Structure 1
Amino acid sequence: MKTVIVDYNSGNLRSAEKSFQRMALEFDAGDVIVSADPNVVRSADRVVLPGVGAFADCRRELGAIDGLFGAIEARVNAGVPFMGICVGMQMMATWGREHGDHTGFDWIKGEVVHLKPDDPSLKIPHMGWNALNILSDHPVFDGIKTGDHAYFVHSYHMLPDAPSDLLATVEYGEPITAAVGRDNIIGTQFHPEKSQETGLRLIGNFLRWNP
């Protein structure tokens, strides 16, 4: 089995690579490769799309590598498990509203909007540890419960149209989307590679998930 973490100039992927490799080794889940090569992605058994920065910038960088998004979408359409992380999750939406309106992948109907906490003392970006509120018994949350903490760094979040696509939230002056998913695709607004035990468990679950 081969898990490909997609490299499209979205930031330092070293921590994600190390976390996925650690859990792949623990569960005998094959190889973890970081690659920007569409041909490598097309041979992947699992695809992970990270993302750091602004929605439009990530979308542009991904589109600048000829054939890369097509390779990702082909694997998703083939039923291969896919995980988006942070902006990689946000791009799964229909629209990103960060500094204008930008088209997403439209895999999960909805939009990505700016955080608007009710409490003016809460700073944006939302940065640090928050307790998860698990809304679904999705397999990637096996062994993870409401109250477990994950690490966030973001100013925008996804609002899915269908409540069934919302897997987990956190509270930060308002309910914030922490995870979304349907069929063979999932996404986390938090960074599992920085979320210690909770994040490693989620990564391990993803590597063993057979949708």
Structure 2
Amino acid sequence: MKIAVVDYGMGNLRSVTQALEHVSAGRAEILLTDRPELVAAADKVVFPGQGAMRDCMAGLVQSGLRDVVLDAARNKPFFGVCVGAQLLLDHSEEGDTAALGFYPGTVKRFPSGQLDAAGARLKVPHMGWNEVWQTRRHPLFDGVEDGARFYFVHSYYMAPADPALSLGFAEYPFAFSAILGRGNVFATQFHPEKSAAAGLRLLDNFIGWDGSDA
């Protein structure tokens, strides 16, 4: 089995690749690639992203990977990470950027001046560990406790038009979608590769996943 990690020039993709290699334990060939034909030929695809949305979208188009990423999201087990998850929506407030439009929805900026339950001001970006609550059962949640903590670094959050697309949520201080997906797509706002045992378990489950959300 071959798993392609899409390299379109954005972010530290080596950490994602190394985490997948660690959990695969030889069950899969993990290929970090910027070649559309290799992404198209892979059995599964991981789509990371880090940095400004406008730059990420430009890199995706200029690399020639846009269409093959959309095709993978339609047809094979697909794991989006951070900006790679945000790019699946229609539009981002960051730079007033049109995204891939795979799902209807918007990427919105956290408002400034928000307070936590104790009255302390919440910083933007949302950075650090936070609990993620699962909205329904999913094969990738096997062995992952509801309310498990994952590592976030982001100033913008996913707001899908269809609430049923949200597979999990976190709070900062209001609830926002931390996991997006349906069918063969599973996409996280947080970084599973930086999220210790819970994050590695998600990636481990992805390697064995057949793309069904039942």
Q: TM-score range by the shorter chain?
A: over 0.9
Q: How many residues align?
A: 206
**What residue number does 1:74 align with?**
71
In structure 1, the gaps of 5 or more residues are none
- Identify unmatched segments of 5+ residues in structure 2: none
**Offset at 1:89?**
0.2
Deviant stretches of 4+, over 4 Å: none
Displacement after TM superposition at 1:190 (Å) = 0.2
Q: Percent identity?
A: 38
Q: CA deviation at 1:172?
A: 1.3
Report what 1:65 is aligned to: 63
1:84 aligns with 2:80: yes
Q: How far, CA to CA, are the matches of 2:47 and 2:197 in structure 1?
A: 21
Aligned counterpart in structure 1 of residue 98 of structure 2, from 91, 103, 108: 103
Q: 1:113-136: CA deviations, max 9, x gaps? A: 001273171000000000111112
- From 48, 51, 54, give the equivalent of 2:52: 54
- TM, length-normalised to structure 1: 0.93
Aligned to 2:108: 113
C-alpha contact (below 8 Å) 2:132/2:169 kept by paired residues? yes
> Contact 1:116/1:174 (CA < 8 Å) preserved in 2?
no
After superposition, give the CA deviation of every residue in 1:29-79 in whole Å (9 maximum; x if it has no partner). 31001000011111010111110011111000111112x1222222333x2
1:162 equivalent in alignment to 2:169: no
Q: TM-score, normalised by structure 2?
A: 0.92
Distance (whole Å) between structure 2 residues aligned to residue 193 and residue 63 of structure 1 = 25
CA shift digits 1:59-103 (9 cap, x unpaired):
00111112x1222222333x2111110000000001111122x22
For 2:5, the equivalent position in structure 1 comes to 5
SS at 1:122 equivalent: coil
Contact 2:28-2:207 within 8 A present in 1 as well: no
Is the Cα contact below 8 Å between 2:10 and 2:59 reproduced in 1?
yes
The 10-residue stretch of structure 1 (33-42 or 111-120) with the greater mean CA deviation from structure 2: 111-120
Describe the shift of the 1:167–1:37 C-alpha distance in structure 2 as closer, same or farther (beyond 3 A).
same
SS at match of 2:5: strand
Residues 16-55 of structure 1: pairs in structure 2 closer than 5 A:
16-25=16-25, 28-55=26-53
Map residues 178-193 of structure 1 onto 2, 5 A cutoff: 178-193=178-193
